Structure 1
Amino acid sequence: MSKKIWIISHKHLKIGILTVIACCILLFSLLVSPSFLTVFSSKEEPRAFYRADIEEKKVALTFNISWGEERALPIVDILRDKEVEATFFISGAWAERHPEIVEKIVENGHTLGNHGFQHKKYTDMEEEEIIRDLHLSHKKIKDVTEQDVTYFRPPFGELNKEVLSIVERFGYSTIHWSVEGNDWNNPGKEQIITSITEKIQPGDVILLHASDSAKQTGDSLPSLIDRIREKGYEFVSLEELITQAETEVKEIK
C-alpha cells in the first residue's frame, strides 16, 4: 500500500498560523468586550434611551462626573442616607485619577456608566477617534472596578446617528436624559430643585452632576429627593426603568 505524503510549504504554513492567530484575537475581543444587546435600539436606526413609557411613578437618578474629587463622595453619602440607588457616568480619565472614589461608588451599590475618556464631543471626532476613546475609557474603568460597564452617555450629551451607530457596535446602550436641574450652571439650590420637580413625569431619567464644577448639587440633593418622594415617586435603578417597560427614544439626526 502506497503512503500519501503531505508536503506543506513554508509559505502556506505561515499563512495558516497567521489565520489561527487572527481567529484567536477576534474570539478574545468578543469575550472581553461588553456584549449585551441594547434593548432600545432597532434594526433600522440606532437610538438613545431617555425615559420609560410607564404609568407607575418611578424615576432613575443619574450623575455625570469628569472632573474633581470634592463633590462626589458627599453625594454618595447623601444617597446612602436617603437609600437611593443611582447611576454614575464617569470619564475614563477621571476613573484613572480617582480610583478610590470609583470604588466607593461601587461599594455603595451604584451603577457605573462610560462618559468617554477625556470628555470631548464625539460629534467632533472621526470614527477611529471615537473607537479609540471608547476602548480606552472602557479599559480604565475596568482596570479600577473589574467591571465591563454597559451604559454610555456622550460627553456634553452631543449625539448624531453616526456616533450612536459606533457606540452601539461597540456594545453599549446609549443613555440620555429627560429632565435636568442645570446644576452645572450653579443657578441656586431652589432653582435646581424646581427645575426638576415641576417637570418630572413617570419614567423620567434625571440628570445631575457630581463634578467639582457643580457646586450646589450636594446642597440641593436631600431636599430634591424629599420633594420628589412627596409627589409620590419612587427612585429605581436605571436598569429597572429600562427593562420593566417599553422605552421612549429621541430621534437623532
Structure 2
Amino acid sequence: MNIFYVLNGKSLKQFALIIIVSFFTAWFLYMENIVQIPVFSSKDGPKAVYKGEKNIALTFNIGWGDEKAEPILNILKKEKVSATFFLAGSWAEIHPDIVNRIVKEGHEIGILGYDYIDYSEIKKEKVAQDLSKAKTAFDKLNIKDISLVRAPTGHFNQETLDIANQYNYTLVHWSIDSKDWTNPGKKKIIKNLSHTKKGDIILLHASDSAKQTASALPTIIENLKDKHLNFVTVSSMISNAHSKSKEIN
C-alpha cells in the first residue's frame, strides 16, 4: 500500500505540473494574440503601427542638419534598398534638394511633425496645429499624398492617434530601436539590430546628431540580407492590411 501511495503522489505532481504548464502556455498565446490585432480592424479607435508580418522596413528620422542624410542615401542607392524617411517639416523647408532626392530615388516620406515637440505633453489642438503646419510645408515642396506620421519624440497618447486619424494619417512607431542617436559606436548599433526578424520596423536616424549611422549601415544591410529579409517601405508593409498594431492606453 505504501508503494502504491508513493507512485500515486508522483503521478499527481506530474499531473499538476502539466496543468500549470498548459495554463501558462494558453495565457502566453492569448496575450500574444492581443498585440497582433490588425490595424485596419480595430473597434476601439486608431492604433499605432509598430510591426508588420512580412519583410522589414528601415525608417530614418531627420530633424536637423545637412551632413548625414546624403551619405546614407548614397549607401541605400548602392545597396538598392528602399526606406521610409520621417522628416520634420521645418527641416524639409530648409533642405528641398535632399527631400527631392529622397523621393527621386524611390524612398517614402512620412511626417515627423513640424517642430521637435513632445505630442504627449501638449493639447490635441497643438498637435493638430503642428501636423497642419508640416503638411503645408510638404505641399509647398509638391510632396503630396503623405499617409504616414511619426511623433517627433516618439511619445504620444490616444489623443495623438485620434488627431492623426482625423488627418487620414497612420501613426507609425517601431519594433526595433538601433539607438544610433546615442552614438554608442558602430559595433553596438549593429548589435542592437542583430535580433531583427521579418515584420520589424527599424528606427534609425539621418540627422547630424547620429554620427555613426552611416558607418554602421552597410554591415546592417548585409546582415539583414544574409537573413533573407526583404526591404520595403512602411506603406508597402502595411498595405495588405496584415500589419500589427499596439493600443496606447
Evaluate the alpha carbon distance shift between residue 116 and residue 41 of structure 1 in structure 2; reply closer, same or farther with a 3 A threshold. Answer: farther
CA RMSD after TM alignment: 1.5
Give, in whole Å, the separation in 2 of the partners of 1:99 and 1:48.
Answer: 28
* Structure-to-structure mapping, 1:133-212, within 5 angstroms: 133-197=130-194, 199-212=195-208
Amino acid of the residue matched to residue 121 of structure 2?
Answer: D
Evaluate the alpha carbon distance shift between residue 115 and residue 204 of structure 1 in structure 2; reply closer, same or farther with a 3 A threshold. Answer: same
Corresponding position of 1:30: none
Structure 1 residue matching 2:141: 3-state secondary structure: helix
Corresponding position of 1:236: 232
Amino acid of the residue matched to residue 179 of structure 1?
Answer: I
User: Which consecutive residues of structure 2, in runs of 5 or more, have no partner in the other structure?
Assistant: 1-37
Match of 1:120 among 94, 117, 120: 117
Whether the 8 Å contact between 1:49 and 1:175 is mirrored in structure 2 is yes
Deviation of 1:169 after TM superposition, in Å, equals 0.9
Evaluate the alpha carbon distance shift between residue 67 and residue 76 of structure 1 in structure 2; reply closer, same or farther with a 3 A threshold. Answer: same
Give, in whole Å, the separation in 2 of the partners of 1:239 and 1:166.
Answer: 19
Deviation of 1:148 after TM superposition, in Å, equals 2.7
Corresponding position of 2:44: 44
Deviation of 1:237 after TM superposition, in Å, equals 2.1
Structure 1 ranges of 4+ moved more than 4 A: none
Give, in whole Å, the separation in 1 of the partners of 2:239 and 2:103.
Answer: 21
Deviation of 1:93 after TM superposition, in Å, equals 0.3
Corresponding position of 1:20: none
Give, in whole Å, the separation in 2 of the partners of 1:114 and 1:169.
Answer: 15
Give, in whole Å, the separation in 2 of the partners of 1:240 and 1:247.
Answer: 10
Whether the 8 Å contact between 2:52 and 2:238 is mirrored in structure 1 is yes
Q: Kindly, what percent of the aligned residue pairs are identical? A: 42
TM-score (norm 1): 0.80
Match of 1:223 among 219, 223, 230: 219
TM-score (norm 2): 0.82
The number of residues matched between the two structures is 212
